[in-house]
Amino acid sequence: MFKDINDFKNYCKVNEIKMIDFKMIDLTGRWRHLTMPADRCTEKTFKEGIGFDGSNYGFAPVEKSDMVFIPDINTAVMDPFAQIKTLSMIGDVFVIGNPHRRFEQDPRAIATKAEEYMKSKGIADEMRIGPEFEFYIFDHISYDVKPQYSNFSIDAKQAEWNSGEYPNQGYKVPVKGGYHIAPPMDAGYDLRSKMCMLLEERGVEVKYHHTEVGGPGQYEIEVEFGSMREMADKTMLIKYIVKNAAFQNGQTATFMPKPILGEAGSGMHVHIHLFKDGQPLFFDENGYSGLSDTAMYFIGGLLKHASALCAITNPSTNSYKRLVPGYEAPVSICYATSNRSAVIRIPDYARTPENKRFEIRNPDATCNPYLAYSALLMAGLDGIEKKIDPKKEGYGPYDVNLYKLSQEEQKKVKALPRSLGEALDALENDHEFLLNGGVFPKKLLEIWIENKRDEVQNINKIPVPVEFALYYDL
């Protein structure tokens, strides 16, 4: 975007930018930020960085937590939600020194290393990905967790449970009946268009947006492909735009995988293909569903490590309330063409060499995108290097509805973890592929597993209302 610091300063002057906002990602995948007046942002800022407490980001112990972030000027975009004209950019985390050095546990640094590792192996020079962003927009959300009282309450005007309210204009969306439904039932149409225009203006190319299956306001925005780290940056921007546009509209958006009982959950399917010297590597007209051996080995790696990957791609306890049969979410570790019940789905409509790809369907947007996309790449590269053939490994193809297989047949298909605890067990036992090339620091994985186990244990201690319904009178 900018040639140098002078170009940056000139842009700020011409566009009357008053504030510069710096956004950094913490370990869990949330953006944090710090803002300074534009006049205070100098060449020194981009060379020496700005100090912050790394312990509050989950990166470092309290006794050794002083770090700096250095802004990446190439990520600068206008913040559409700030009342004061503000230019926003992402910061990279560094350990203080002379000179500063990249902090190896910084998720953005890991994504950079994963791409460098891919290039160093000579397999490919670019992994292009296209995530699909599913989310709900509600008109109300409240929740309370106390020793003597626990509840949550959600409301959406178009939900079928509001059909008996007075006054009422009707046009309520049936349970699991929202897919591609038209206005006036599509109550979020204009808001989604606004979100997409904000994204387009900030360099995020949108393929389309539409209503999803969930009746009480489930939607999807699908974007054009981009390189891995670039798309991780854009993933954070997309979530920021969606949440803030809804908030500004007096509503609330969530990427929580399973916010409503009995309705479809929200995933983040990730379409993947590799390129080298601009040429696609996943196409072979004679291969299964038009896929090359390289693509099949990549799939083999993903399926071989699927359970361990879940600890990173599906890192919330709520994630596993989505990964259940009957809601178009995958539960079986296998691949197939046009089959939404499989972990790996090969779109039948993508038939040209440059479009030939597959999607992995289990991830959701509670993940840290830098870690999740990097882990997917590392698993795929491991599959290519080891020539893991998914067919020989028994992963398919399963071109049938996996939910309707007999119990005997279902037993032959390995299942995804049923809980975050199971996924963490898998990651503890299968993580060497992430350490290749020093991409994922072992210390980071240890911190991740420890933090997530604490999360699981804390949640397991809390009585939930359904337990009173089941057990109170026993």
- Inter-residue contact 356 to 363 (CB < 8 Å): no
pLDDT value at residue 64:
63
pLDDT value at residue 244:
98
Percent of the chain clearing pLDDT 70 (strictly above): 99
pLDDT value at residue 328:
76
Report residue 279's pLDDT band, with 50, 70 and 90 as the boundaries.
very high
Nearby residues of 472 by Cβ (< 8 Å), 6 or more positions away: none
**Given the residues 79, 106, 139, 220, the one annotated as active site:** 220
Tokens read off for 389: 């053939």
> Catalytic site residue 48?
no
Please state, in angstroms and rounded to a whole number, the distance separating the CA atoms of residues 100 and 34.
Answer: 20
Which part of the chain has CATH 3.10.20.70?
Answer: 5-103
- State the average pLDDT over residues 225-252: 97
- State the average pLDDT over residues 434-451: 96
pLDDT value at residue 99:
79
**Given the residues 79, 106, 139, 212, the one annotated as active site:** 212
Cis ω on the peptide bond leading into residue 167 (within 30° of 0)?
yes
Please state, in angstroms and rounded to a whole number, the distance separating the CA atoms of residues 155 and 142.
Answer: 9
pLDDT value at residue 3:
77
Residue among 280, 294, 306, 271 nearest 389 (CA): 294
> Catalytic site residue 104?
no
Residue among 360, 204, 179 nearest 273 (CA): 360
> Catalytic site residue 53?
yes
Cis ω on the peptide bond leading into residue 80 (within 30° of 0)?
no
- State the average pLDDT over residues 205-213: 96
The amino acid sitting at 111 is: A
**Given the residues 192, 202, 273, 361, the one annotated as active site:** 361
Pairing of strands 342-346, 332-337: parallel
> Catalytic site residue 269?
yes
- Inter-residue contact 427 to 315 (CB < 8 Å): no
Residue among 303, 305, 304, 320 nearest 421 (CA): 320
- Inter-residue contact 58 to 315 (CB < 8 Å): no
> Catalytic site residue 357?
no
CA geometry: angle 259, 261, 262, nearest 5 deg: 125
pTM of this prediction exceeds 0.75: yes
Please state, in angstroms and rounded to a whole number, the distance separating the CA atoms of residues 303 and 313.
Answer: 13
What region, left, alpha or beta, does residue 180 occupy, with left being phi > 0 and alpha being psi -120 to 50 degrees?
left
Alpha helices in 76-134 (DSSP H): 107-120
pLDDT value at residue 41:
92
Residue among 443, 316, 432, 421 nearest 368 (CA): 316
Evaluate if residue 95 carries a pLDDT over 60: yes
Evaluate if residue 60 carries a pLDDT over 70: no
Distances (CA, A) of 354 to 141, 204, 332: 43, 20, 28
> Catalytic site residue 467?
no
Please state, in angstroms and rounded to a whole number, the distance separating the CA atoms of residues 310 and 314.
Answer: 5
Evaluate if residue 396 carries a pLDDT over 90: no
Helix or strand (DSSP H, E) at 192: helix 189-201
DSSP lists the bridge partners of residue 210 as 220
> Catalytic site residue 132?
yes
Place of tokens 């509600």: 138
Evaluate if residue 61 carries a pLDDT over 70: no
Picking from 375-379, 399-403, 440-444, which range would have the lowest pLDDT averaged per residue?
399-403
Report residue 63's pLDDT band, with 50, 70 and 90 as the boundaries.
low
> Catalytic site residue 393?
no
- State the average pLDDT over residues 303-322: 97
**Given the residues 21, 106, 115, 134, the one annotated as active site:** 134
97 versus 89: which is more confidently predicted?
Answer: 89
Report residue 267's pLDDT band, with 50, 70 and 90 as the boundaries.
very high
CA geometry: angle 147, 150, 155, nearest 5 deg: 160
> Catalytic site residue 345?
no
- Give the other-Cβ count within 10 Å of 40's Cβ: 10
Torsion of CA 18, 24, 28, 29, to 10 degrees: 70
- State the average pLDDT over residues 420-440: 97
DSSP lists the bridge partners of residue 37 as 19
Instruction: Report the Cα 64 to chain-centroid distance in Å.
Output: 30
Evaluate if residue 249 carries a pLDDT over 60: yes
Which part of the chain has CATH 3.30.590.10?
Answer: 120-471
DSSP E strand boundaries for 147-251: 149-155, 206-211, 218-223, 226-227
Helix or strand (DSSP H, E) at 35: strand 31-37
**Given the residues 7, 53, 66, 201, the one annotated as active site:** 53
CATH of 5-103, one of 3.20.20.20, 3.30.2130.10, 3.10.20.70, 3.40.50.150: 3.10.20.70
Cis ω on the peptide bond leading into residue 99 (within 30° of 0)?
yes
Please state, in angstroms and rounded to a whole number, the distance separating the CA atoms of residues 250 and 299.
Answer: 42
CATH of 120-471, one of 2.40.50.100, 3.20.20.100, 3.40.630.10, 3.30.590.10: 3.30.590.10
pLDDT value at residue 240:
98
